[in-house]
Amino acid sequence: MLVTLEGIDGSGKTSAWDHLRETRTEGYTFTREPTGTWYGDAVRRSIETPAADPLAELFLFTADHAAHLADTVRPALERGDVVVSDRYSDSRYAYQGAAIEDVVERPIQYIRDLHEPFTRQPDATIYLDVDPETGARRAGTTNKLEDSEFLRRVATNYETLIDRDPKRFVRIDASADPATVFAAVEDALDSILDE
């Protein structure tokens, strides 16, 4: 089973993922995007470059996703592990969809079409929901993807994705204190696995 954690920057998604890594061991593979490979390094360099072309950046993210599937996700699923990924294809649709909205028509669909031949859809997605202003404040606006106005567009894209596939998403109120959020994420994961 492939379970993904999604949310805008500052939602506490990575902290929740770290918490799960500490509490779940046997039979789990924990992974993330961007990866720790050279593909992921290229993505991080692009994120830190304010003038990076958004379409070129999309293709860097897509290459990283393809390598992630081939090298980590598919082998772990074949072993029978539960794969828990901090960010996955929905991040691409939401973030890069916002980044290229002035470049291509129907950006989310464009990116989904690009991924469709090779990606594997998550079985379930835990979405940590927080408003863009809170997310930007928590994240510290350290790069171009953490600006509150940009995060507002990203959040809108996430809502579009949730509306398209509501059964896959479990929404968690990420405005609560960390312990409450972690407990809600644990409960959500247990419910997903029980189903």
10 labelled binding-site residue: yes
80 annotated as ligand-binding: no
* Separation CA 108–CA 93 (nearest Å): 5
12 annotated among ligand-binding-site residues: yes
What Rg do the C-alpha atoms of the chain give, in angstroms? Answer: 16
40 is annotated as contributing to ligand binding: no
Consult the annotation and say whether 165 binds a ligand.
no
Q: How far is 152 from 124, CA to CA, in rounded Å?
A: 23
DSSP H helices in 69-194: 74-79, 89-91, 97-99, 107-115, 132-139, 148-164, 178-194
- How far from each other are the two terminal CA atoms of the chain, in whole angstroms? 11
* DSSP H or E run through 47: helix 38-47
Residue 11 known to bind ligand: yes
36 in a known ligand binding site: no
Annotated binding site: 7-14
Q: Which residues are annotated as a binding site for ATP?
A: 7-14
